[in-house]
Chains A and B, each alone.
Chain A
Amino acid sequence: MSVGFIGAGQLAFALARGFTAAGVLAAHKITASSPDTDLPTVSGLRKMGVNFTVSNKDTVKSSDVLFLAVKPPIIPFILEEVGPDIEARHIVVSCAAGVTISSIEKKLSAFCPTPKVIRCMTNTPVIVREGATVYATGTHADVEDGKLLEQLMASVGFCTEVEEDLIDAVTGLSGSGPAYAFTALDALADGGVKMGLPRRLAVRLGAQALLGAAKMLLESEQHPGQLKDNVCSPGGATIHALHFLESGGFRSLLINAVEASCIRTRELQHLADQEKISPAAIKKTLLDKVKLESPSLSVASASKVSLFTNKSKKN
């Protein structure tokens, strides 16, 4: 099986690194493409032994499982560009937040009657094989296609199938989750430094504390509330500290964060549906490259490529 990545940024790099480290895929069976060769991740991919190209079409041709690893506003451009090369054998996996299966299927159906589309939401710790991934299968993706993706993603962490309408919530929780954790870790380290620890040690200990706690929770039948209680000796240090967290509304902040991320994801999807993403949001170099690859797109029409229309709109 060969895997391709349209896009050679953080996500492609993380997944490629994870797959190769897990041994489910040899590096030379992976292709990644991007018009931008200056990305730091590009050299990282090359060093791994991944085939790198500037041609998205080449990636499509040499892949069975095709990951769309570009930012959501770029997706419609990519689908326009590689659509003609998508065949029934391809499993197109979109990792783009807020981009619906139906929008992708609509776009591809102009080129291929029964495109296999799977939507997935993963997160950056796939890079160390502790990712959290969910996926939802599209209309023409079979159970085996889903299972194939699941096997791939399970090699780099936890992976399970969900209903598509839960994916935005997953984005808010585990998609953005690592960022919340990094923020917490930074602050915990600050706390350690304030109380006298050298920075490196503080970071190391903070990270290990969270890692250990998460592992305990995953391996325990117990409720996190119970695990918390187990750490809190009466009148001890921990319960004093927890009181501070509660006073600061720690829990509600986290709930707010997950909610905000989920809502924003939906908002972006909504904006995309209404074609409100301006091409100005897309790097000019990218647009130029896309135009080079797809002469059918006129300069004027490149300004409004929507997920829903298959013909470029004329201004």
Chain B
Amino acid sequence: RVAMEASELWVGFVGAGRMAGGLVRGLLQAGKVPASNILASAPSDKNLDAWRELGCRTTHCNLEVVHRSTLVFLATKPHILPGVLEEIRPAVGSHHIVVSLVAGVTIQTLQRLLPPWTKVLRIMPNLPCVVQAGAMVFSRGSNAGDEEAALLKSLLSSCGLCEEVPESYIDIHTGLSGSGVAYVYLFAEALAEGAVKMGMPGALASRIAAQTLLGAAKMLLETGEHPAKLRGDVCTPGGTTIYALHQLEKGALRATVMDAVEAATNRACDMAKD
């Protein structure tokens, strides 16, 4: 049995793009794993420079990552993954924990392309992992047990919210939070635009819009209150907020947002089938 102490853990990343970078920053920030214990591979140096600056080791050889790591994150683009799995398959042992960040690739597919004893987990992070305010969900494959799940959760909680879910929730998470981040950016942009229309300079409006979203989200998370209640708390009778909310309701904002989550989730499902 391999020691599960995070500080003794050798962590590898196959693929060193934005998502992987976000996760590793979170890990390092939390001080869970020393940078020298982290090895990342990528075809070019383009991404790897940033990793070296963090103190991580880098290589162009995927097999090396597998040989030198216990916990291996797969962070390639979806169409690259099958080829990478072919390549590393011979080196994957029963001591490895393979965690895939690859969008749309199911546990079933991963398990099919890896040796039958492999402990596989699948994780769907979102972009704000980069600033340690991410939302991640993960699911276990057949050989991954409570220890592996607990390890992953404990390591990645440094990047934000990290919850284990049934695999069927992963596409929904994409629609809600993976893509959801973009909905929020759109909303922030629109808020600021409204302010600009009313006479506020754009840069200031954007900062305030962002802070408003941050503050509201923080209150939601920290009070645990139902959003409808928090909304009601802001609405003075006959005041500005209720007038504005009426406009939002007229625009069927709620339904539109539900449509968006649905569309992204369905698209994730469709893409996974390809």
Contacts and interface: CB of A to CB of B under 8 A. Distances in A.
Nearest to B225: A223
Interface stretch (A114-122, A182-190, A245-253): A245-253
A88 interface: no
Nearest to A166: B237
Nearest to A222: B226
B255 interface: yes
Contacts of A276: none
A229 interface: yes
Given A223-B232, A246-B255, A252 B250 contact: yes
Contact of A249 (B226, B252, B262): B252
Given A243-B255, A243-B258, A226 B226 contact: yes
Contacts of A259: 246
B246 A246 contact: no
Nearest to B242: A255
Contact of B229 (A225, A247, A251, A252): A225
A92 B232 CA distance: 37
Best-surrounded residue of B232, B250, B255, B262 (most CB of chain A within 10 A): B255
A137 B113 CA distance: 80
Given A225-B226, A225-B227, A252 B246 contact: yes
A207 B251 CA distance: 29
A178 interface: no
Given A252-B249, A252-B250, A247 B255 contact: yes
A246 B226 contact: no
A249 B250 CA distance: 6
Interface string A222-239: 111110010000000000
Contact of A255 (B246, B254, B255): B246
Contacts of B249: 249, 251-252, 255
Interface string B109-141: 000000000000000000000000000000000
B93 to A, nearest CB: 38
B228 interface: yes
Contact of A251 (B226, B254, B258, B262): B254
A189 B161 CA distance: 44
A248 B252 contact: yes
Interface string B223-237: 000111100100000
A243 B252 CA distance: 10
B241 to A, nearest CB: 13
Best-surrounded residue of B246, B249, B258 (most CB of chain A within 10 A): B249
Interface string A250-280: 0110011001000000000000000000000
Contacts of B259: 243, 247
14 contacts: A223-B226, A225-B228, A225-B229, A226-B229, A243-B259, A246-B252, A246-B254, A247-B259, A249-B250, A249-B255, A252-B249, A252-B250, A252-B251, A255-B246
Interface of B: 226-229, 232, 246, 249-252, 254-255, 258-259, 262
